Every structure is written in structure tokens, then in C-alpha cells.
């Protein structure tokens, strides 16, 4: 499977700052999803954005999608130490649940 690219690979910020992570992918998609993974744990679904949507909000999360550039961004506003985790984008090209994951961004939020 082709993996997406995410940048940065690692991000370290202070509590209260905003964190932006970017994801690029290679194929046409039906939707793109963002997941969070705490160290050594399972994945938690954060947000799903469909190919015909450009922006979506959920609490402190804001996701954008640019299908012409095959890219997406995840913005976490007013970060907290508890946001420390790895964040992955995943694309679903066929609406079957078969996800292709990006390489992930490791976010550290310092208190």
C-alpha cells in the first residue's frame, strides 16, 4: 500500500500554543480521517472529512482538505499536555474501510 506523507514527523510545543500537522496522499479518496494514538495504545478516531468537504471543526480540532493538492491539515488549538500523542491521517479510497495511513506526527505538548 502506498503510505501518505505527514509532516512534521515530530512537533514539540508549549501548552496553550496551536499545533498544525499536515498530510499528503497519492490517490483519489472518498474520505480522509485523523486518528490519535497514545504510546503503545489503540487508535482513537478524531474526525472524518469527506472528499466534497473543505473544512471541518470538532471542539479544538480543525481539519482542512484540499483534494486538488491531495493534502489535509489538522490544527489543534490551545493545546494541552494531554494532547501529547501520535497523530495519523488515513485515507479511504474505496469506502470499504481499507485505510492507508500516513507516517504520523508525534506531538509533544510541554506543560
Partner 1 sequence: GAVVSQHPSWVICKSGTSVKIECRSLDFQATTMFWYRQFPKQSLMLMATSNEGSKATYEQGVEKDKFLINHASLTLSTLTVTSAHPEDSSFYICSAPSGGIYGYTFGSGTRLTVV
Question: Per rule CB under 8 A, is residue 35 in the interface with partner 1?
Answer: yes
Cβ proximity to partner 1, 80 vs 98, nearer residue: 98
Using DSSP, state whether 81 is helix, strand or coil: helix
52 contacts partner 1 (rule: CB under 8 A): no
Does 99 bind partner 1 (CB under 8 A)? Our answer is yes
Is residue 107 within 8 Å of residue 83, measured between CB atoms? yes
Nearer to partner 1, 98 or 110 (CB): 98
**Whether the Cβ atoms of residue 23 and residue 5 lie closer than 8 Å to each other:** yes
3: how many CB neighbours lie within 10 A of its CB? 13
Candidate ranges 21-29, 63-71, 72-80, 92-100; the one touching partner 1 (CB under 8 A): 92-100
Nearest CB to partner 1, comparing residues 35 and 83: 35
27: helix, strand or coil: coil
Task: Name residues whose C-beta falls within 8 Å of residue 111's C-beta, 6 or more positions apart in sequence.
Answer: 15, 81
Instruction: For partner 1, give the closer residue by CB, 39 or 68.
Output: 39
Q: What grid cell was written down for 46? A: 478524531
Which residues of this chain interact with partner 1, rule CB under 8 A?
1, 3, 31, 33, 35, 40-45, 48, 88, 90, 96-104
Amino acid at each position: 500500500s502506498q503510505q501518505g506523507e505527514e509532516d512534521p514527523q515530530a512537533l514539540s510545543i508549549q501548552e496553550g500554543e496551536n499545533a498544525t500537522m499536515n498530510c499528503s496522499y497519492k490517490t483519489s479518496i472518498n474520505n480522509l480521517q485523523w486518528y490519535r494514538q497514545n504510546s503503545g495504545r489503540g487508535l482513537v478516531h478524531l474526525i472524518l472529512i469527506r472528499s466534497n468537504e473543505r473544512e471541518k471543526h470538532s471542539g479544538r480540532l480543525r481539519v482542512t482538505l484540499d483534494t486538488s493538492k491531495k493534502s489535509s491539515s489538522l490544527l489543534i488549538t490551545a493545546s494541552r499536555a494531554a494532547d501529547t500523542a501520535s497523530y495519523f491521517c488515513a485515507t479511504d479510497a474505496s469506502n470499504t474501510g481499507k485505510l492507508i495511513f500516513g507516517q504520523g506526527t508525534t506531538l509533544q505538548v510541554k506543560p
